[in-house]
Structure 1
């Protein structure tokens, strides 16, 4: 195994804050079911990595149209707001690339769902955008 460097990229406090701000905005859009705004915050084609009900890994690339259609179907048009309580661990690869690991509780009405996922964000023109979503359970929707 190759020897890895002792340290990687160390983000500035401002860079860490910019990731927190990005997710606050994305979670707010998700809570409002503002799928178009969520799509505005992505880079297309968007990479998706998951597993399916058979336990096999799955991956796909979605264009904006597929993202909007699938997220509209998954999130529904319910009257209840969606809220998120999340703990995020950003791992910066460079000042323009970050992998963010998230443990979250999503609440919709009286229903809570625990989620664990990761996102790869890249910075373009000084703004963060997500480019890859990694989360279990989506694989049957990717084929």
Structure 2
């Protein structure tokens, strides 16, 4: 898991949205809420993921660094839920976040299939 996330983080820090999409299993589930506490869930195909994450990873235009502490919980040998506490720094501004991912091992490769993080509801239209 550590090596998989090092790879994902390097792609994300480089703004390589297509590279992160190559590590996903589509359709990809996203679960979030908004500022009013309204929860939502949706499925993304690759094109929708590229559009959404393009604005997040590539659209910031600033210097991005990430520090993450991850705790995996293996449900089976091919299913793992990973809880992450992270700090993102963009152009010197720091933001702390907590999120969870469900990864699935298919054809010998780990792929993220579900992303859960609060606060994206206003962007998940």
TM-score, length-scaled by structure 2: 0.95
What SS does structure 2 have at the residue aligned with 1:43? Answer: strand
Matched residues in 2 for 1:85 and 1:96: separation?
26
CA shift, 1:79, in A, is 4.5
Cα RMSD, aligned residues only? 1.0
Do the aligned partners of residues 86 and 68 (structure 1) sit closer, same or farther apart at CA in structure 2, a change above 3 Å counting?
A: same
* Structure 2: gaps of 5 or more residues: none
Q: Which residue of 2 aligns with 1:72?
A: 54
- Residue 127 of structure 1 pairs with residue 109 of structure 2: yes
- Residue 53 of structure 1 pairs with residue 35 of structure 2: yes
CA shift, 1:53, in A, is 2.1
Do the aligned partners of residues 65 and 93 (structure 1) sit closer, same or farther apart at CA in structure 2, a change above 3 Å counting?
A: same
Contact 2:62/2:90 (<8 A) preserved: no
Q: Which residue of 1 aligns with 2:80?
A: 98
What SS does structure 2 have at the residue aligned with 1:50? Answer: strand
**Structure richer in strand, relative to its length:** 2
* Residues 83-114 of structure 1 deviation map (CA, whole Å, 9 limit, x = unaligned): 21111100000000000000000112211110
TM-score, length-scaled by structure 1: 0.83
| Number of aligned residue pairs | 124
Matched residues in 1 for 2:65 and 2:105: separation?
26
- Residue 43 of structure 1 pairs with residue 25 of structure 2: yes
**Largest Rg, 1 or 2:** 1
Matches within 5 A, 1:78-117: 78-80=61-63, 82-117=64-99
